[in-house]
């Protein structure tokens, strides 16, 4: 990737950090006191994401390496993973920052079509694992709590919604999604002209991307299910963050309840994905979910605060990694 492009992505991240620093709903001395209250649990929460990102990188690494020709060093994939997620935290609409960055960085190694298909596949798997996590959490809730009529209706609709999207993603894995996505864009007024031109100009590349997407489900089933398992595992590990933070506030913490809090909060965050950096949404989600699960809403606000600071730290790390280790990139002429 050219340094000019990296500098644009870096600027996005720096702006996000500045905005996050100025949008905390408390004074800095109060914020510092809350971090001191967290004690050793706060560095534990930050370090937890070293391992979560490591598993995310393994999942993407497996998707990339379908043969010996497409060799990308794991540490490069790990680096692109961290920075990609940092950019996703920093930009509205989630995928407007991290995914283009990953494609551009990966292209010199495997070519543009393979880079694009592997990033699309990883994003699909990441979302697919979210859907599986939300769907399985419905049954966990039923096992742990009594369900009245109102709650039953909500859970039924949530389950039906998850099943519909799971079906949609399975269809996408079987047939590819690039061409269909462009067809959908053609129906959107502001994107119609661009989508039509792009679809005609890049027709062969889009078809190649779709064939590579379909290949993962049809011919590489072991990779498909392994990466799904890895991504699902990161959702469970992510619940440890809630568990560690709540341990600061109360000794009576149930890890299964933390899984439900994480599932409910991530669902709310993804519903309001268009909020830049999800400002206020994550904190509100934690407050609502803890309140619904017989915990005080103040606990949820505190969890949201510590999580926001952790995100801020990892955005900073991602931005620093963007400028590190870029001298030995392999230049590829692959399409």
pLDDT of residue 26: 53
Alpha helices (H) in 145-254, listed in sequence order: 149-175, 178-185, 192-201, 203-218, 221-249
In this structure, is residue 329 part of a structural domain?
A: no
- Whether the CB-CB separation of 209 and 111 falls below 8 Å is answered with no
Q: Please state which of the ranges 88-92, 186-190, 231-235, 316-320 shows the lowest mean pLDDT.
A: 186-190
Chain segment 24-69, per-residue pLDDT in tens: 555 556 667 767 777 788 899 999 999 999 999 999 999 998 765 6
- Whether the CB-CB separation of 10 and 323 falls below 8 Å is answered with yes
- Number of compact structural domains in the chain: 1
The percentage of the chain sitting over the pLDDT mark of 90, rounded to a whole number, equals 17
pTM: 0.81
In this structure, is residue 333 part of a structural domain?
A: no
Confidence of residue 281 (pLDDT cuts 50, 70, 90): very low
Q: Which of 228, 303, 301 is nearest to 258 (CA)?
A: 303
Question: Looking up tokens 């004074």, which residue turns up?
Answer: 27
Non-local (6+) Cβ contacts of 314 within 8 A are 46, 49, 82, 85, 86, 89
In this structure, is residue 312 part of a structural domain?
A: yes
Chain segment 168-178, per-residue pLDDT in tens: 888 878 777 67
pLDDT of residue 133: 93
Residue numbers of the domain that contains 104: 3-322
pLDDT higher than threshold 60 for residue 287: no
- Whether the CB-CB separation of 123 and 81 falls below 8 Å is answered with no
The percentage of the chain sitting over the pLDDT mark of 70, rounded to a whole number, equals 69
Q: Please state which of the ranges 26-35, 153-162, 265-274, 285-294 shows the lowest mean pLDDT.
A: 285-294
Q: How far is 208 from 335, CA to CA, in rounded Å?
A: 10
pLDDT of residue 155: 84
Q: How far is 248 from 39, CA to CA, in rounded Å?
A: 8
Q: Please state which of the ranges 41-45, 152-156, 173-177, 278-282 shows the lowest mean pLDDT.
A: 278-282
HEC-encoded secondary structure of 290-327:
HHHCCCCHHHHHHHHHHHHHHHHHHHHHHHHHHCCCCC
pLDDT of residue 247: 82
pLDDT of residue 289: 52
In this structure, is residue 114 part of a structural domain?
A: yes
In this structure, is residue 263 part of a structural domain?
A: yes
């Amino acid at each position: 990737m050219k340094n000019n492009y990296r500098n644009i992505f870096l600027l996005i991240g720096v702006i996000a950090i500045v905005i996050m620093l100025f949008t905390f709903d408390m004074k800095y001395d109060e914020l510092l006191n809350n971090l001191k209250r967290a004690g050793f649990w706060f560095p534990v929460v930050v370090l937890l994401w070293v391992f979560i990102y490591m598993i995310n990188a393994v999942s993407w690494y497996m998707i990339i390496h379908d043969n010996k020709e497409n060799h990308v060093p794991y540490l490069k994939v790990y680096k692109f993973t961290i920075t990609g997620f940092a950019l996703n935290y920093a930009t509205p609409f989630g995928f407007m920052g991290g995914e283009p960055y990953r494609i551009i960085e990966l292209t010199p190694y495997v070519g543009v079509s393979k880079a694009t298909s592997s990033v699309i596949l990883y994003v699909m798997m990441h979302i697919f694992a979210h859907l599986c996590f939300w769907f399985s959490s419905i049954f966990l809730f039923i096992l742990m709590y009594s369900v009245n009529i109102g709650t039953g209706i909500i859970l039924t609709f949530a389950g039906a919604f998850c099943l519909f999207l799971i079906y949609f993603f399975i269809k996408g894995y079987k047939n590819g999604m690039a061409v269909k996505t462009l067809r959908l864009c053609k129906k959107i007024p502001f994107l119609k002209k661009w989508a039509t031109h792009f679809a005609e100009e890049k027709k062969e590349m889009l078809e190649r991307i779709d064939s590579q997407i379909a290949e993962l489900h049809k011919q590489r089933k072991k990779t498909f299910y392994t990466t799904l398992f890895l991504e699902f595992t990161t959702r469970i590990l992510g619940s440890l963050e809630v568990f560690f933070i709540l341990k600061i506030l109360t000794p009576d913490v149930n890890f299964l309840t933390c899984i439900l809090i994480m599932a409910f909060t991530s669902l709310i965050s993804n519903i309001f994905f268009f909020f830049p950096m999800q400002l206020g949404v994550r904190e509100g989600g934690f407050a609502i979910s803890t309140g619904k699960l017989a915990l005080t809403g103040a606990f949820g606000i505190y969890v949201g605060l510590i999580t926001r600071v952790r995100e801020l730290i990892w955005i900073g790390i991602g931005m620093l990694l963007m400028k590190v280790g870029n001298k030995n990139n392999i230049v590829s002429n692959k399409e």
